[in-house]
Structure 1
């Protein structure tokens, strides 16, 4: 693997982790989104990453293969004072686990930081190689 390939691979990782961070932040922002019981609840989004093969001109790295969505059923909560409540006093909330989302947020953040460090180190290596060539 060349040093240039390291930047490409780490760059693809940055892209996947950025999508993961976006999905987690959307999920956390909508954890308390209320809907009437006759509507679907907010659906959590989960990013699916897939490794690039060595075929088709791609050499290593990862890409976002798509997204998987959580349950539209959500969970029913008894809130008779909520203006969106049905006749029985229920509203629909998304079925999102805050603890799981925070764990995913930390993992995605650390992965993003690691890939950014790889790019920084490769850039430093290129700069050093150019300095050697000048002397």
Structure 2
């Protein structure tokens, strides 16, 4: 039973990191940069086999720094041609990922709760 709690706990950690990355992406979706520098890079969380015998790990990957050039000649960061750089972040895609990450977190939390209940029931049997 402790393996179930450990595995689900690592899943909760991975999904929390995913939620953090999505929040960061959403917060910076409209971050404007000058064209001589990189755009804000979308952050992705890559799930991978965890350390040891069980669980899941997570690492970060980043999107394209080129972003999208937008013509805004009145923007203070616009270059001589009138362009600024925005990150290439799709808000609809981020919201879909947000729902998946929330559901994954909730599913892992439910497993932890059920394993805890089973562990407590086993302790009660041992006392009786």
Whether these two folds match at TM > 0.5 is: yes
* Cα distance between partner residues in 1 of 2:16 and 2:49: 16
Aligned-residue offset at 1:60:
2.2
The alignment's TM-score, normalised by the length of structure 2, stands at 0.94
* Cα distance between partner residues in 1 of 2:69 and 2:76: 15
Over aligned residues, Cα RMSD in angstroms? 1.2
Aligned-residue offset at 1:83:
1.0
1:1-135 pair list within 5 angstroms: 3-52=1-50, 58-64=52-58, 66-135=59-128
- The runs of 5 or more residues in structure 1 that have no matched partner are none
Aligned length: 128
Aligned-residue offset at 1:126:
1.4
Q: After superposition, what is the alpha-carbon deviation per residue over 1:38-87, rounded to whole angstroms, capped at 9, x for unaligned?
A: 111000011111123xxx7x2221111x2211111000111112111111
Aligned-residue offset at 1:10:
0.3
Task: Point out 4+ residue stretches in structure 1 off by more than 4 angstroms.
Answer: none
* Cα distance between partner residues in 2 of 1:60 and 1:130: 24
Aligned-residue offset at 1:132:
2.2
The alignment's TM-score, normalised by the length of structure 1, stands at 0.90
